[in-house]
Every structure is written in C-alpha cells, then in structure tokens.
Amino acid sequence: MTIEYPAPYWKDYEMIDSGRGEKLERFGKYILIRPEPKALWDKTLPEAEWKRLAHTRFTPGAGFGKAGKEDSGTWDRLKKMDDQWTIGYRGAADAETGAHSDLDLRLRLGLTSFKHVGVFPEQAPNWEFIFRETSRLQRIASANGLDRPKVLNLFAYTGAASLAAKAAGADVTHLDSVRQVVTWARENMERSGLDGIRWVVEDAMKFARREARRGNCYQGIILDPPAYGHGPDGEKWKLDELLFDLMKNVAAILSPKESFMVLNLYSNGYSAMLGETVVREALGNPATGEIQSGELAIRDSFGKVLPLSIFVRFRR
C-alpha cells in the first residue's frame, strides 16, 4: 500500500494547517476554513491566526456528517472575496527533460452549500495516473492505426479527471447524476482550452448495465462513488449495497487488453485492502495486469498528514 500526496509544485493549492475538526486551505488567492472530521489533533496555529488569514469559514448545519450524509451550511465571510474564482493545475514535469506535460487545467471554484468548492485537491495523483495511462494508450493506438482510447468517468463531478483523460487524447464520456455539476464540468473544459467531451446526466449503475448489454467497452474507466446518493430520477445509491455489482458491470465494459481503471472511495471504514479485494474479485482475479492500492492524503505546512480517501488502480 502506498500513500500519495499532491505534488509540491502545485502552487495554487496549500493546506496551511489542520486540527480540531477543521482544515485551513488556500485555493489560489483565497484562504478557506472548512470542517474536516478526520483532523483529530490540535491546530498548530492559534485560532486568532486562522481567523486573521481566512477569507471565509464554513459553518455546517445541525447533524452534519450523521449517517455519512452532509447537511447544508453557511459560509461566514471574514474578508472580501469573489463568489467564484479560478485556479490552475499543471502536470508533472518530465524527470529527464524538465518539460511540463500537456496536462494544464483551469478549474472554476465556488462556495457551495455543502462545504465543497468544486475540486478535491487530494485527487491530483489520480489525475496524473489517468493522464499517464491515457497517453500510453494513445501512443499505442497511434502506432497501430487504431481509434483514440475511450475513457468513461462515472460519478464525475466537476470533471478534473475527465479533463486529464481528454488532455491526453482520449474520447471521454463524463457521467454524473446532477445536471448542475455537469454544466460546471463543461465550463472547466472550456476554460482549459479543451473540447469534445460527451456529457451524460444519468444514474451510473443504469448506464454501466446498459453499456454491458450493448457490448460497448472502454480502455479507461474512472469511478469516484459517494457513500450515499440519488440518480436524476430518484434512484437510490448506497455504496455498501451496490459497489460490487457496479464493479462487475465495469469489469464487463473494460477492454480486456491495454486498459486501465481507477476506483476512489471516501467512505469511512473502507480500507485500501478492502477496495483492492473488491476490484480483484470483480475482475476475476486477473492473471495479467497490475493492481496498486493506497491512500490519498494531504500534508499541512507543519507536517501533519490528513488521509482523505483510498484508491485502487488497475492497468494492463
């Protein structure tokens, strides 16, 4: 198992401090205080310094975090700031040449009623993996006169992972059950100078089952399912009950050769080993291919490590 962090060269994001159930983060030019139940330790900076630095603080509603759900809350402005702003993400430089990759994203952020701002910074290592793997598949396709690799992003939110695949040359299908965040993702695509992503507003399980029945397949599949959720037509999603069935449908539409998959899980109580076992069993314990699992975490400027999700990656 490995632990991965956003690279230090990402200048538009920083977790300054964490503790007492909160984190102090800088997104571009603005500093935010947001709830973080996993920050069980003391803050390093005094509370007065948090308030002095921050532009806004999220106050959750009653019952926040109960049963794995989030109640809406409010942002208390401490300084003047925009309701929406943009940050950038530049991909890792080549170790030999020093040249940056074509992964150059512009992501619009905003203050939502559920503490989120439109990006999950700890996901940056997954973006890098998706970009590398899609680039590899694109090189193979070009060398053999094949079509560009097809990548499917389920539970795709505002689309940074979709943009990583698109920047590497894939035909990308971006699926989310919430129309507003699909619109947000489209805006991020346009800001990043990309185009041609296929947008789908649908329940992920329904879509995967239908693609399996049709015999469609993808060279890359990305999944970031929530613990709880609802589809556009009221379909209920509960991770514990539906994850393995979803993964079996994903296995049916993942290309048997030259392909990759990324599964990310935020649910409390899930371990990297559990995620890896789910993937292995859904894929039929593949004899060929590589499976890697671990945690995505962020280290604050004082060295405290905040684990935020687990990942399982498969490539062949």
How confident is the model over 36-93, as pLDDT tens digits?
A: 999 999 999 999 999 999 999 999 986 544 444 556 899 999 999 999 999 999 987 6
pLDDT average, residue stretch 257-270: 92
What pLDDT is stored for residue 307 in this prediction?
A: 96
Burial category of 151 from C-beta neighbours within 10 Å (exposed 0-12, middle 13-18, buried 19 and up): buried
Task: Say whether pLDDT at 232 is over 50.
Answer: yes
Distance of CA 271 to the CA centre of its chain: 17
> Whole domain around residue 251: which residue ranges?
121-315
pLDDT average, residue stretch 164-171: 98
Q: Per the structure block, which two tokens stand in for 234? A: 């009221």
Q: Over the stretch 89-111, which tens digit does the pLDDT of each residue have?
A: 998 766 555 555 789 999 999 99
Indicate the angle between helix axes 272-283 and 239-253, nearest 10 degrees.
40
> Residues 119, 195, 118, CA angle at the centre, nearest 5°?
10
Q: Is 30 in contact with 316 (CB distance < 8 Å)?
A: no
Percent of the chain having pLDDT more than 70? 94
> Is residue 62 in some structural domain?
yes
Task: Say whether pLDDT at 212 is over 80.
Answer: yes
Distances (CA, A) of 267 to 12, 248, 287, 296: 27, 19, 29, 13
Asked which of 110, 142, 176 is the last residue of a domain, the reply is: 110
Q: Per the structure block, which two tokens stand in for 43? A: 């803050």
Q: Output the CA torsion 124→125→131→132 (10° steps).
A: 160
260 and 155 fall within a common domain: yes
What pLDDT is stored for residue 67 in this prediction?
A: 43
Of 135, 204, 130, nearest to 163 by C-alpha is: 130
Give the total number of structural domains in the chain: 2
192 and 293 fall within a common domain: yes
> Is residue 116 in some structural domain?
no
C-alpha to C-alpha distance for 214 and 138, rounded to whole angstroms: 24
51 and 143 fall within a common domain: no
